[in-house]
C-alpha cells in the first residue's frame, strides 16, 4: 500500500506510487479547502473515497476529458451526491472540457479552480450536489440518495440495447460500462433495492456499483438503523460481490475493477471498507467529518499527515495534472479517436444505421417520422384514449427505432406494449427488444427511464396515474435535468370506480402540474391523443406526462375541461343550446402548452370579455382559478373518492351534464 505522506510537488525521483499518492492527496485537500471556504458541505466522504475514485478514473475508466460526451464512453455516477467535491476535484484535475447544449466542445475547463473556490455559491459550476447539464462530465443529477444507482441501471440497459441495435460484425459501436459510487444511504433507500433486483434479473454485467462501507450516516453509526448483510442481499439479487478491505489499497482496487470488467452474466458490487474523514486525526467516524467543515485546525493537522504545506489552500502541485493527462487523458483520447475512426467506416458500410445513431445522439428524429402519426375519423361513441394512444405509439415506434419503454407490470391495462413485428422484449438473453418489463417497481422505473434518456435512447414508461406518487422523485429529477422522458398514465380519474379511493387519483394532476418544466397533457379524444404524441415526440429538453383514458355568435359562457370530461361539457353545451344559451367548450389538454402561447391566441380561446366560466375535471379544483377567474365555477373533487360503479360515482360527485348546465346558469345570472 502506498504511504500516507505525499510530497507537495512532483520530484524527478518520484515513483509511480508516490505520484499516485500525490494525486489522491490533492483530491482530498481540494475537497477540504472547498468545503471549509463555503462553510458548508461534506468533506469526510471525498477524503475517504479519494483513492477509490482516483483508481477508477486514472486506471480503468474509458473516458476522454477532451470530449466528455463521446457516445461509447464509460459512465461514472456519484450516487452519494453530497460527496460532490470528490467529483469536482476529478473533473478539474483530469482537465475535463465544457460542452454546450449544441454538443460543441468549447475547450474551456468544465470545472476551473475558481469554480472550486466558489463551491456551493451562486453561478459556480460546483453546486452542492452534482447537476447534469450544468457541469460537463456529470452524467446525471444526484441529490436524493439512491437515485444515482437506480439511474445507472438505465444507462447499463441503454448500453446493452444500443449494442444489440447498432453493432455489426467488425463494428463494435457500443459496449460501455457503468460505474456508480454509493454509500449506506443509497443502499437503505428502497429505490436502490428495486433497481438492484431488476439489474440482477437482467444480468447486466456492464454495471458496477461501488459501496462505500464507512458505517456512518448523519445521525451517527449505522448501527442505529442498519444491520443488513449487504453482500448476502446482493448475492440473492444475482450479483457478483467482491470486497476491498481498505479504501487506500490501490492494488486491491485495481483487482476489484478488473474482476468487475471480466465478470459475465452478473452485475458487480464492490464493497469498500473505509473510514470517513480519512486523514483527519480527531474526526474519523464522526458526524462532523460527514456533514460539516473540518475547521481550520483539523485541516492543518490533516495536511501535516499528508506531508502537505499546512497553510496552502487549493494547492494543485506541479505534476498532478500532467499525471492525470498521461493516464485517463491519454487512454481516453486514444479510445475516442479509435471510435471516431470506426464510426467513419461504419458510416460508409452501414449508412442507415450511422444516420440513426447520429440522430439519436443529437436528440433528433428521423426524416418524415410525423407521417406515421395516424388520424381518427369522427365517431359518436369515441375511441378510448388508451386504445388511440396504443395505435399512435406503435406507429411512432416503427418510425423512430430508438423509441422504447414499458410499464410497471401494467402494459395490458395501459396499452403501451409495442406489438409490431420485431418489437420484442428486452430480456437477459436478448437485449434488442423494445418492450421493457420493469416489474412492480414504479420508483426504479422512473430512474431507469432517466438513465435511458441520458444515454440518448427515447424512453417511455407507463402506469396508473395514482402510482405516479411512487415515481414522483424520479419524474422531478427528469424535469430538473430537462430530459425528454415520456410517462403514460392511465386510469386517471374516479372512473376506476369499484377500486375505491386508494386507486382514484384526485390530487395527482395538480401534483404533476406543480413540477416546473414538466408538461402534463390530458387529451379529450383520439385525435387529441394523436396530436399530444406529435407534440411530445418533438420535445428535446422537457419530460412529459400523457394522461390517456376512455370515456352562431360570441359565447356567453365558457366550459373548460380535460380528458374524458370534455364529452361531459359537450353534452352540457347541447342542453344549453336548446335553452338558447351560447356556450363554448374548450378542451385544455395541457395547461403548460396553453400558457406558452402568445396573449392574442390565449384571448381568442378564452375571451377576456366572457367572465362566465365553468371548469370540469375529475380531480382537485386547485389551479383552475387562473382560467375561470375568481368568480368562476370549478367542478371537481374536494374529497377523496369512493368505491362504487362509475355511474354512481359520477352522480355522487356531480359529474353530470345537468350540474354543468346548472353551474353555467348560475354564472350567467345577474349578480347583485
pLDDT for residue 143 is more than 50 = yes
Average pLDDT of the residues in 192-203: 98
Which three-class secondary structure state does DSSP give residue 425? strand
Q: Is residue 517 part of a domain?
A: yes
For residues 529 and 595, is the Cβ–Cβ distance under 8 A?
A: no
Question: What's the 3-state SS for 453-490?
Answer: HHCCCEEEEEEEHHHHHHHHHHHHHHHHHCCCCEEEEE
Alpha carbons 73 and 195: distance in angstroms, whole number: 22
What pTM value is reported for the model? 0.93
What tens digit of pLDDT does each residue of 532-572 get?
999 999 999 999 887 675 446 789 999 999 999 999 999 99
Residues facing 183 on adjacent strands:
none
Residue 31, all three cell numbers: 475537497
Q: Which distant-in-sequence residues (6+ apart) come within 8 Å of 334 by Cβ?
A: none
Instruction: Return the number of other C-beta atoms located less than 10 Å from residue 656's C-beta.
Output: 16
Residue 330, all three cell numbers: 491519454
Query: pLDDT confidence of 6, banded at 50, 70, 90?
Result: very low
Alpha carbons 417 and 368: distance in angstroms, whole number: 23
- For residue 440, what are the domain limits? 369-547
584 shares its domain with 478: no
485 shares its domain with 568: no
Closest CA to 484 of 534, 512, 449, 447: 449
What tens digit of pLDDT does each residue of 626-655 get?
999 999 999 999 999 999 898 999 999 999
490 shares its domain with 594: no
Q: Which of 292, 313, 335 is the last residue of a domain?
A: 335
Alpha carbons 288 and 19: distance in angstroms, whole number: 30
Sheet (strand 435-437) strand order: 435-437, 403-407, 458-464, 486-490, 544-547, 519-521
Alpha carbons 393 and 17: distance in angstroms, whole number: 56
317 shares its domain with 417: no
Q: Which of 293, 320, 335 is the last residue of a domain?
A: 335
Q: Which residues are catalytic?
A: 442
Alpha carbons 329 and 325: distance in angstroms, whole number: 4
Q: Which CATH number does the domain housing residue 508 bear?
A: 3.40.50.970
- The percent helix, strand, coil of the chain (3-state, each to 5) is 45, 15, 40
Q: Which CATH number does the domain housing residue 654 bear?
A: 3.40.50.920
Q: Is residue 342 part of a domain?
A: no
127 shares its domain with 159: yes
DSSP state of 96: P
306 shares its domain with 385: no
What angle (nearest 5°) sits at the alpha carbon of residue 386, between those of residues 385 and 390?
115
Alpha carbons 550 and 452: distance in angstroms, whole number: 30
Instruction: Give helix 526-536 / helix 385-399 axis angle, nearest 10°.
Output: 40
Closest CA to 212 of 43, 351, 23, 78: 78
DSSP state of 407: E
Which three-class secondary structure state does DSSP give residue 290? helix
84 shares its domain with 198: yes
233 shares its domain with 280: yes
pLDDT at 497: 87
500 shares its domain with 628: no
For the chain, the distance separating the N- and C-terminal CA atoms, rounded to the nearest angstrom, is 87
pLDDT for residue 382 is more than 80 = no
Mean pLDDT (the chain) is 92
392 or 671, which is more confident: 392
pLDDT for residue 670 is more than 80 = no
What tens digit of pLDDT does each residue of 144-157 get?
999 999 999 999 99
Centroid of chain to Cα 652:
40
How many domains is the chain built from? Answer: 3
pLDDT for residue 287 is more than 50 = no
306 shares its domain with 397: no
Q: What are phi and psi of 193, to 5 degrees?
A: -70, -40
Average pLDDT of the residues in 474-494: 95
106 shares its domain with 233: yes
pLDDT at 286: 39
Residues facing 241 on adjacent strands:
269
Amino acid at each position: 500500500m502506498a504511504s500516507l505522506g505525499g510530497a507537495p510537488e512532483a520530484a524527478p525521483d518520484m515513483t509511480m506510487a508516490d505520484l499516485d499518492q500525490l494525486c489522491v492527496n490533492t483530491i482530498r485537500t481540494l475537497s477540504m479547502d472547498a468545503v471549509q471556504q463555503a462553510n458548508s458541505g461534506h468533506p469526510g466522504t471525498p477524503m475517504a473515497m479519494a483513492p477509490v475514485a482516483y483508481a477508477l478514473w486514472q486506471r480503468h475508466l474509458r473516458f476522454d476529458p477532451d470530449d466528455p460526451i463521446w457516445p461509447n464512453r464509460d459512465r461514472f455516477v456519484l450516487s452519494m451526491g453530497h460527496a460532490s467535491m470528490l467529483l469536482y476535484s476529478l473533473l478539474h484535475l483530469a482537465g475535463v472540457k465544457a460542452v454546450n447544449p449544441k454538443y460543441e466542445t468549447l475547450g474551456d475547463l468544465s470545472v476551473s479552480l475558481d469554480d472550486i473556490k466558489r463551491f456551493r455559491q451562486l453561478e459556480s459550476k460546483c453546486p452542492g450536489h452534482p447537476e447534469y447539464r450544468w457541469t460537463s462530465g456529470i452524467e446525471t443529477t444526484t441529490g436524493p440518495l439512491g437515485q444515482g444507482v437506480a439511474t445507472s441501471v438505465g444507462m447499463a440497459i441503454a448500453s446493452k440495447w444500443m449494442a444489440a441495435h447498432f453493432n455489426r460484425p467488425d463494428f463494435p459501436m457500443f459496449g460501455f460500462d457503468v460505474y456508480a459510487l454509493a454509500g449506506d444511504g443509497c443502499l437503505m433507500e428502497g429505490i436502490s433495492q428495486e433497481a438492484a433486483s431488476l439489474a440482477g434479473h437482467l444480468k447486466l454485467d456492464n454495471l458496477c456499483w461501488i459501496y462505500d462501507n464507512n458505517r456512518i450516516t448523519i445521525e451517527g453509526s449505522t448501527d442505529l438503523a442498519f444491520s443488513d448483510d449487504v453482500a448476502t442481499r446482493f448475492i440473492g439479487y444475482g450479483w457478483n460481490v467482491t470486497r476491498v478491505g481498505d479504501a487506500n489499497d490501490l492494488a486491491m482496487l485495481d483487482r476489484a475493477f478488473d474482476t468487475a470488467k471480466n465478470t459475465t452474466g452478473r452485475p458487480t458490487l464492490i464493497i469498500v471498507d473505509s473510514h470517513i474523514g480519512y486523514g483527519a486525526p480527531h474526526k474519523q467516524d464522526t458526524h462532523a467529518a460527514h456533514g460539516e467543515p473540518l475547521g481550520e485546525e483539523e485541516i492543518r493537522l490533516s495536511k501535516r499527515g499528508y506531508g502537505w504545506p499546512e497553510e496552502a489552500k487549493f494547492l494543485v502541485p506541479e505534476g498532478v495534472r500532467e499525471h492525470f493527462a498521461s493516464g485517463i487523458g491519454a487512454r481516453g483520447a486514444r479510445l475516442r479517436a479509435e471510435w471516431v475512426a470506426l464510426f467513419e467506416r461504419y458510416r460508409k458500410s452501414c449508412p442507415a444505421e450511422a444516420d440513426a445513431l447520429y440522430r439519436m445522439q443529437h436528440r433528433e428524429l428521423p426524416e418524415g417520422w410525423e407521417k406515421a402519426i395516424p388520424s381518427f375519423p369522427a365517431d359518436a361513441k369515441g375511441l378510448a384514449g388508451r386504445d388511440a394512444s396504443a395505435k399512435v405509439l406503435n406507429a411512432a415506434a416503427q418510425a423512430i427505432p430508438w423509441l422504447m419503454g414499458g410499464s410497471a407490470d401494467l402494459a395490458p391495462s395501459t396499452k403501451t406494449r409495442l406489438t409490431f413485428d420485431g418489437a420484442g422484449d428486452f430480456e437477459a438473453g436478448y437485449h434488442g427488444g423494445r418492450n421493457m418489463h420493469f416489474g412492480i417497481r414504479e420508483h426504479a422505473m422512473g430512474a431507469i427511464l432517466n438513465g435511458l434518456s441520458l444515454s440518448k435512447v427515447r424512453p417511455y414508461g407507463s402506469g396508473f396515474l395514482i402510482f405516479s406518487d411512487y415515481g414522483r422523485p424520479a419524474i422531478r429529477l427528469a424535469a430538473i435535468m430537462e430530459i425528454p422522458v415520456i410517462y403514460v398514465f392511465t386510469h386517471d380519474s374516479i372512473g376506476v370506480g369499484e377500486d375505491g379511493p386508494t386507486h382514484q387519483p384526485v390530487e395527482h394532476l395538480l401534483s404533476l402540474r406543480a413540477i416546473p418544466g414538466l408538461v402534463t397533457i390530458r387529451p379529450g379524444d383520439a385525435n387529441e391523443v394523436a396530436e399530444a404524441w406529435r407534440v411530445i415526440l418533438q420535445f428535446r429538453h422537457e419530460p412529459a406526462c400523457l394522461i390517456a383514458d376512455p370515456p352562431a355568435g360570441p359565447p356567453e359562457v365558457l366550459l373548460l375541461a380535460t380528458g374524458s370530461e370534455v364529452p361531459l361539457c359537450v353534452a352540457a353545451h347541447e342542453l344549453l343550446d336548446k335553452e338558447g344559451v351560447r356556450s363554448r367548450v374548450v378542451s385544455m389538454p395541457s395547461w403548460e402548452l396553453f400558457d406558452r402561447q402568445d396573449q392574442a391566441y390565449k384571448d381568442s380561446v378564452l375571451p377576456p370579455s366572457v367572465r362566465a366560466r365553468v371548469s370540469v375535471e375529475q380531480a382537485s379544483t386547485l389551479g383552475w382559478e387562473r382560467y375561470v377567474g375568481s368568480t368562476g365555477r370549478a367542478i371537481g373533487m374536494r374529497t377523496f373518492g369512493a368505491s362504487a360503479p362509475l355511474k354512481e360515482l359520477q352522480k355522487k360527485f356531480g359529474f353530470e351534464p345537468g350540474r354543468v348546465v346548472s353551474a353555467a346558469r348560475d354564472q350567467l345570472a345577474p349578480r347583485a
